[in-house]
């Protein structure tokens, strides 16, 4: 507990405390921009061959996940389908086949989800993806290196053994957000979620991306063994992207439930308002 948060504990009134360092805030917002553009351009690239496989190469008859369109006999109508394993669902209008300016498009993810938007554009999708992959990687490396040297990651983010043992006692699991000085630190569930994202999910999506590069395969053939081949790497890359989307949804919900203005302001200015808990306010 810092001196500021200690003072906040003693005085039952709103106190501003320093919450996020400048570099962490910069890393956070650069990451937001990079991930949004990487997701949209990634869906664009996926659309070039909307099927995923396991292993070294593509076994075209057996994708574990795919999206495709079926045309009506006159070609005027289109139906979209999404398959997962042996299950097949009609997803006309969204996945497999969607309308763009009134015209049917044979497209995995619809044009409004992709970067660039609209009609299929692999060329520019790749330009956006491979540029922001650099932004994402350099930004992430700066975050990890400074966070490890400055001990922010070990002190504030990585859960301790005790954190893991008491994880089910964390009130955040019941959507109870801390008030008072307790709100100025990460709790067990947050620590585990952020550590999973920072140390596992984001490095895995970067490494599987690199594993898809035929050039880098010559330099780091062990990455192919690690992920089970190039097509497996492509599948894991896609799964990681989905997990990041899931994380961001939960993350945004938590921000909304725990005081969105205060939280967003803290990530912009660095200062978090400590709102006294009920007991303190009444004492």
Partner 1 sequence: MNRRTWLRGLLAGVGATIAAGCEKVATAPPALKMLKVAEKWSQGAQRAIIGRHALAPEFTEADISRTFKANGTRRPVDEEYNSHLNTGFSGWKLVVDGLVETPLALTLAELRALPSRTQITRHDCVEGWSCIGKWKGARLSALLDQAKLKPEAKFIVFHCMDTLGASKYYESIDLTDARHEQTILAYDMNGAPVSVEHGAPLRLRVERQLGYKQAKYIGRIEAVASLKGIGGGSGGFWEDFGYEWYAGI
**Footprint on this chain of partner 1 (rule: CB under 8 A):** 45-46, 48-49, 51, 53, 56-61, 112, 115-118, 121-124, 126-128, 130-131, 133-134, 212-219, 221, 224, 230-231, 234
The sign of the CA dihedral 256, 261, 264, 270 is negative
What is the rounded distance in angstroms from the CA atom of residue 253 to the CA atom of residue 237? 25
Tell me whether residue 59 or residue 72 sits nearer to partner 1 (CB atom): 59
Crossing angle for the helix pair 230-257 and 260-269, to the nearest 10 degrees: 120
Write down the least CB distance from residue 23 to partner 1, Å.
23
**Is the peptide bond prior to 73 cis by the omega test (within 30 degrees of 0)?**
no
H/E run at residue 70: strand 65-71
Tell me whether residue 94 or residue 275 sits nearer to partner 1 (CB atom): 94
What is the rounded distance in angstroms from the CA atom of residue 113 to the CA atom of residue 43? 7
What is the rounded distance in angstroms from the CA atom of residue 163 to the CA atom of residue 194? 13
The sign of the CA dihedral 214, 41, 226, 151 is positive
Tell me whether residue 55 or residue 171 sits nearer to partner 1 (CB atom): 55
226, 53 contact by CB (below 8 A): no
What is the rounded distance in angstroms from the CA atom of residue 140 to the CA atom of residue 23? 11
List all residues 6 or more positions away from 124 whose beta carbon is below 8 Å from its beta carbon: 44, 116
Write down the least CB distance from residue 203 to partner 1, Å.
18
Write down the least CB distance from residue 183 to partner 1, Å.
34
Tell me whether residue 97 or residue 210 sits nearer to partner 1 (CB atom): 210
| C-alpha to C-alpha distances, 256 to 14, 181, 196, 253, nearest whole angstrom | 19, 19, 22, 5
Write down the least CB distance from residue 133 to partner 1, Å.
8
Tell me whether residue 66 or residue 262 sits nearer to partner 1 (CB atom): 66
Tell me whether residue 46 or residue 104 sits nearer to partner 1 (CB atom): 46
Write down the least CB distance from residue 33 to partner 1, Å.
13
Tokens of 251: 């993350």
Write down the least CB distance from residue 96 to partner 1, Å.
16
**Residue 80, helix vs strand vs coil:** strand
Q: Which residue is listed with tokens 């593509």? A: 58
Tell me whether residue 219 or residue 264 sits nearer to partner 1 (CB atom): 219
Write down the least CB distance from residue 57 to partner 1, Å.
5
Write down the least CB distance from residue 105 to partner 1, Å.
14
Tell me whether residue 41 or residue 91 sits nearer to partner 1 (CB atom): 41
78, 72 contact by CB (below 8 A): yes
């Amino acid at each position: 507990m810092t001196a500021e948060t200690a003072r906040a504990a003693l005085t039952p009134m709103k106190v501003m405390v320093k919450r996020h360092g400048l570099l962490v805030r910069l890393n956070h917002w650069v990451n937001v921009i990079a991930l949004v553009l990487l997701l949209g351009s990634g869906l664009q690239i996926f659309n070039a061959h909307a099927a995923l496989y396991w292993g070294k190469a593509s076994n075209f008859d057996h994708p574990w996940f795919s999206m495709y369109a079926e045309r009506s006999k006159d070609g005027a109508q289109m139906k979209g389908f999404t398959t997962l394993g042996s299950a097949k669902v009609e997803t006309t209008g969204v996945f497999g086949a969607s309308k763009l300016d009134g015209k049917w498009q044979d497209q995995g993810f619809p044009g409004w989800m992709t970067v660039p938007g609209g009609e299929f554009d692999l060329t520019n999708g790749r330009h956006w993806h491979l540029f922001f992959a650099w932004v994402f990687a350099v930004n992430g490396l700066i975050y990890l290196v400074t966070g490890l040297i400055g001990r922010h990651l070990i002190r504030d983010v990585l859960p301790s053994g005790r954190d893991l043992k008491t994880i089910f006692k964390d009130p955040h699991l019941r959507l109870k957000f801390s008030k008072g000085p307790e709100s100025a630190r990460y709790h067990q569930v947050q620590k585990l979620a952020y550590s999973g994202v920072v140390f596992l999910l984001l490095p895995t999506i970067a490494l599987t991306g690199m594993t898809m590069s035929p050039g880098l395969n010559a330099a780091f053939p062990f990455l192919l063994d690690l992920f089970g081949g190039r097509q497996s790497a492509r599948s894991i890359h896609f799964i990681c992207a989905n997990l990041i989307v899931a994380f961001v949804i939960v993350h945004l919900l938590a921000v909304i439930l725990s005081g969105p203005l205060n939280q967003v302001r803290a990530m912009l200015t660095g200062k978090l308002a400590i709102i006294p808990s009920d007991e303190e306010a009444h004492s």
